[in-house]
Amino acid sequence: MLADFISYLIFGNHCKYCGELIPFGETLCNECETDLPRITGEKCKLCGAGKDRCSCKKTKMRYDGICAPFYYEKTIETAIRKYKFADKPYIAKVLATDMAETVKADFADIKFDFIDYIPFSKSQNKKRKYNPAGEIAKEMSKILGIPVCNVLTKPFETETQHISGAFYRKGNVAGAYDTLDNMDLQGKTVLLVDDIKTTGSTLNECARVLKIAGAERVYCAVAALTAKEKTKEKQ
């Protein structure tokens, strides 16, 4: 606590999502606090959205479940954009802390053998300073005490997800991912980590190849997911 106060005197205290200066002892600025798009209430186990915003129509995926602390909007969308594209790696720890809490709550009965994350291809690795999913996975590993084992690989290039349309996105990941050679994942339960889930096709494909390599169950954890707000019926 004293160390925190000394650090406050030197560096000030910053909102954990947007970085604004805030009073000592607080973790969020007022704006982030009111705009935090937390997923609350009963959740759909298949898509991770709140039951009030689920529109997955119970579509079965290759993974066995998914959880996320937030919707990809407002404060969290801004924070993740900064994290991914403005070289703000410290946000990984903030997101990982929220994700770890959600994993503990939503997957309380599940014993994970290891954490894996959505890998980059060679050219993505060259272009970017860090893999956002990889940094989050490392931080979650520290909090949850589960080792990271990156058995997933991405031998083929695909279009960047956020610039290609949903229609194209659905098909463009099939066959893009693989696992390291001679990996025997027989009977293993994997926690698969990524930053955002939109259609879920990347997580689905990675879960598929992990299962081909023998994994018995694959559960996903993402920082945020997209889910349309249902328009309220007119009274």
Residues forming the site for Zn ion (CB under 5 A): 15, 17-18, 20, 29, 32, 44, 46-47, 54, 56
Which CB atom, from 45 or from 162, has the smaller least distance to Zn ion? 45
Minimum distance, C-beta of residue 129 to Zn ion, in the bound complex (Å): 24
Shortest Å distance, C-beta 118 to Zn ion:
21
- Rounded least distance, CB 31 to Zn ion, Å: 6
The kind and range of the H/E element at 208 are helix 201-212
CB-based burial label for 81 (10 Å; 0-12, 13-18, 19+): middle
Q: How many CB atoms lie within 10 A of CB 12?
A: 12
Closer to Zn ion by Cβ: residue 53 or 138: 53
Instruction: For the CB of residue 176, give the shortest distance to Zn ion in the complex, in Å.
Output: 25
Q: Which is nearer to Zn ion, 84 or 138 (CB)?
A: 84
Considering beta carbons, is residue 137 or 225 the nearer one to Zn ion? 225
